[in-house]
Amino acid sequence: MFRLPDLPYPADALEPTVSRATMETHWGRHHKAYVDKTNELAAAGLQGRSLEEVVIAAAESRAENPKLFNNAGQAWNHGFFWNSMTPTGGAAPSGEFALAVEQAFGDQQALRNRFVEEGVSHFASGWAWIVWREGRLQVTSTHDADTALVHEGTPILVCDLWEHAYYLDYKQDRKSFLERWFDTVANWSFASSQLQAAQAGQQGWRWPE
C-alpha cells in the first residue's frame, strides 16, 4: 500500500504564496484521494512495486484503464510537487544549475518568462515542468494526470496548474500564481539535485517507501 507522504514543511510554511488553507485541502484531501484511489484500483497488483513502476505500467495500458494511470500519475506528481517547493525559495540558482539555465535559456529571467508562458498558455488542468531532455533543460507541460515521469527525459521541477492549486488564493489568475511561485517558493536546490541525478543517468527523486 502506498502511504500519503508527509509534507516536507508545515502547511503554512509557504504563505503568503500558498496559503495554509490551500495546502491543507490540496495535500490532505486531493493528494490523499489520489493515493487512496491508486491503492484501491491497483490492489493485488501493487505487491513489491514502486509507485514509479505502477505509473509506468499504467501508462502503457491507459487507453483501456485510464483510472489507474490518472490516480497513480496524480499521486506521483503531487509528491514531486511538494518537493519542488520550499519556504526558503527565492534566491536564484547557482553553480551547475545556473550554468545549465544559461546554456538553455540565456538567463534565469528568460527561464522564468518561458515557464510562466508555458503555464499560462496550457489549456485547462495539468502540470508545468522543467525537464532534462536531449542534454539540456527544457520547459514543457502535461495534461491532466500525465507526468514527465513517463516521457523522455528526467523531471527537474514541477508546478501544479490545476485550479485547486491556486483558486483559493488567486481565483482564476494563474499567471500571478506562477510568477509568485517561481519567485518565492520554487526549490532550486531540489532542482539542482535532480539535475545532478539526470546528468548521471539516474532518475532522482523517488516516492518514499
What is the smallest separation between the CB atom of 2 and Fe ion, expressed in angstroms?
Answer: 17
Taking the least distance from each CB to Fe ion, the nearer of 137 and 146 is: 146
Q: Cell 514543511 maps to which residue? A: 9
Q: Which is nearer to Fe ion, 146 or 160 (CB)?
A: 160
Which cell is 48 given?
A: 513489491
Which residue, judged by CB position, is nearest to Fe ion in the bound state? 160
Residue nearer to Fe ion on the CB measure, 162 or 188: 162
* Nearest-approach distance from CB 164 to Fe ion, in angstroms: 5
182 binds Fe ion (CB under 5 A): no
Closest CA to 20 of 105, 87, 103, 96: 87
Residue 92: name the closest of 115, 112, 118, 113 by CA: 112
Residue of the chain from 76, 162, 170, 205 that contacts Fe ion (CB under 5 A): 162
Residue 47 or 172 with smaller CB distance to Fe ion: 172
Q: Give Rg (Cα) of the chain.
A: 16
Within a 10 A sphere around the Cβ of 13, how many other Cβ atoms? 16
x/- binding map, residues 132-161, to Fe ion, per CB under 5 A? ----------------------------x-
**Phi, psi for residue 17 in degrees, rounded to 5:** -60, -45
Burial class (CB in 10 A: 0-12, 13-18, 19+), 91: exposed
Which CB sits closer to Fe ion, 162 or 190?
162
Chain positions contacting Fe ion, by CB under 5 A: 160, 162
